[in-house]
Amino acid sequence: MHAKARNRSDTTQNQLNNQITKDAKFSIGQVAKMTGSSVPTVRYYDEIGLLSPAEITPGGHRMYTAEEIWRLKLILTLRYLNFGIDEIKRMLAGDIPVDMAIEWQIEALDLQMRTLASMKSILEQTKKSKGDSLSYMHELIESISADALEREKFILEKMFSSVFPEQFPVEWREIVLLGVNVSSLLEGKLSAAQTAALDELEDMFNDPQIVQEMKHDVMSFLEVVHLPKISVEMWTARLLKNHKQLLKAAEQHATPDSPVVQANIQEYVLLFADVDELPVSQSFFRRFAERLLSNQSENLERFRRICSILYPGLQSYMKTNELFYQALLWKLQQMDKE
């Protein structure tokens, strides 16, 4: 069966290669047929800037060459593997290394498998129950949700107590580690996906190596940063404003070296400095930026991704993360040239 399928695939690919020459141009209908897609899908990818035609005729018809057809095949392959549109854009633009994107997708699939296994278990238990199945299912999910919330509190307490040294003020622990106040992100019951993310988080903090990495991150943070003299609430409000500005810049496709992004980076660093006005000293900026960049690890990235699932309010922070670190790196490189 696999051999037959492979032969059919090879035949189709050979036919496609025979049809496509370097200078040949094809209509949107032809491209859709050649790639097993549809005209609305190809048109949609053009509208969102993922796949532009090589030419638009005076009559308004989209025309494509071999290069666009190959790009479309890559897009369709990545969509089949459940990559998101934004991820595909960044991969094709070179903003995300392919290996990193693949690792993220494997983690996402692991989480989905754990989520589905949990849901399947609930359904199987419900099937075996006697009496009102819907009522039993409701009570079972209520019990699981209540247990998850209790586990969440326990895991967060364990996380903050194991990662932070005693001299680190308790009121600043959540905001420094996650970037926001966790209590402001909790809303109602946890979904099946959030419960699975909680399991992942628990696994992470049962791993001594990961805990040590985070502890090292916090300790190096203390060597550079001056804890603010203002309240946590006021500092959080400033951080949120800074994030919204960077998110807006990212949505407008601002580059790391753009004035608006660099101004945002300077304002962010100011949040951690012992001064009240810009500019912060170049020595502090360098120490702070190098500290952030040097402590980026696969486990810390994984921690952030899991938290963005557990706390959906963090997802917008993840969207700006790459732009933020690219901007920090660009500024350091400019300082080296001066």
Concatenating the DSSP letter of every residue in 116-130 gives HHHHHHHHHHHHH--
Is 177 in a helix, a strand, or coil?
helix
Task: Assess contact for 261 and 254: CB atoms under 8 A.
Answer: yes
Tell me what the mean pLDDT of segment 218-236 comes to: 77
Identify the pLDDT of residue 18: 53
227: its two tokens: 């804890």
Is 45 in a helix, a strand, or coil?
helix
Q: How far apart are CA 198 and CA 140, in angstroms?
A: 18
DSSP conformation class of 280: P
pLDDT at 251 over 50: yes
Identify the pLDDT of residue 219: 80
The pLDDT-based confidence of 1 (bands split at 50, 70, 90) is: very low
Give the pTM.
0.63
Tell me what the mean pLDDT of segment 17-22 comes to: 57
Q: CB neighbours of 109 closer than 8 A, spacing ≥ 6? A: 82
Is 94 in a helix, a strand, or coil?
coil
pLDDT at 9 over 60: no
Is 274 in a helix, a strand, or coil?
coil
Task: Assess contact for 269 and 280: CB atoms under 8 A.
Answer: yes
Least confident of 4-8, 26-30, 130-134, 154-158: 4-8
Least confident of 138-152, 172-186, 213-227, 248-262: 172-186
Cis peptide before 259 (omega within 30 of 0): no
Tell me what the mean pLDDT of segment 291-304 comes to: 82
**In this structure, which amino acid lies at residue 315?**
Q
pLDDT at 27 over 70: yes
pLDDT at 335 over 80: yes
Task: Assess contact for 118 and 192: CB atoms under 8 A.
Answer: yes
β-sheet bridge partners, residue 64: 26
Residue the block writes with tokens 């933020």? 324
The residue that leads in pLDDT, 179 or 54, is 54
Least confident of 207-216, 217-226, 246-255: 217-226
Share of the chain above pLDDT 90, in %: 20
The pLDDT-based confidence of 2 (bands split at 50, 70, 90) is: very low
Residue the block writes with tokens 């491209």? 31
What's the whole-number average pLDDT of the chain?
A: 82
